[in-house]
Chain A
Amino acid sequence: SQTIHQWPATLVQPVGSPLSLECTVEGTSNPNLYWYRQAAGRGLQLLFYSVGIGQISSEVPQNLSASRPQDRQFILSSKKLLLSDSGFYLCAWSPWSGANVLTFGAGSRLTVL
């Protein structure tokens, strides 16, 4: 069966520090991968999605970036965090065949102080 791992679960970082959140998927090949952000009291905002290694599409211009160095690995990064980057970050995957059924990870809670 397929599983998705996301870490770290909780992160407290000072403004201006770098960020790296990692997500890996097991039990499937060539998945579509996504990073969503959920701010307090708001919905799920799609940040990045990837349909293959090295293929990253950005939905929202900001100081975050994403990379997909391996088929089942998706990384969210920032060189310098802003206060507004605080939130709950969710990685998700869907089958490459376009079934559009997203399976989410447990999320990473980021607090920028």
Chain B
Amino acid sequence: QQQVKQSPQSLIVQKGGISIINCAYENTAFDYFPWYQQFPGKGPALLIAIRPDVSEKKEGRFTISFNKSAKQFSLHIMDSQPGDSATYFCAASKIRGSSNTGKLIFGQGTTLQVKP
């Protein structure tokens, strides 16, 4: 019930195309869903995050779509660029409540390659 399942494992997209990465969770107590971006040899960095009270959040070319009833959320990268080539991780966490420890449960990661 603590798992976050992410797909696809790898993705190749042409420059200018749309990259879509999907995640599913089981624990309905999760109330915070971030996406992290990791370049080779570096630590992951927060890209964008959403709370379940909204269905979509957009920051520049990056959009999170959230479907609470299906317990799924996805990352859309519009106009994908070669510089977006990286590994992307979805994650989930429970913020509300005194037992919050701040820890995130991560998906397995998606390696994105954007071809010029």
Contact = CB atoms under 8 A, between A and B. Distances in A.
B43 A107 contact: yes
Interface residues of A, number: 30
A34 B75 CA distance: 25
A57 B34 contact: no
Main secondary structure of the interface of B (DSSP, over half): loop
Interface in A99-113: 99-107, 109
Nearest to B42: A106
Contact of A104 (B9, B45, B105, B109): B45
A107 B36 CA distance: 15
B114 to A, nearest CB: 20
A106 B102 contact: no
Contact of A100 (B9, B32, B43): B32
A46 B43 contact: no
B41 A100 contact: no
Interface stretch (B12-20, B57-65, B93-101): B93-101
B108 interface: yes
Interface of A: 6, 32, 34, 36, 41-46, 49, 51, 57, 59, 90, 92, 94-96, 98-107, 109
Interface of B: 6, 9, 32, 34, 36, 41-46, 49, 89, 93, 95, 100-109
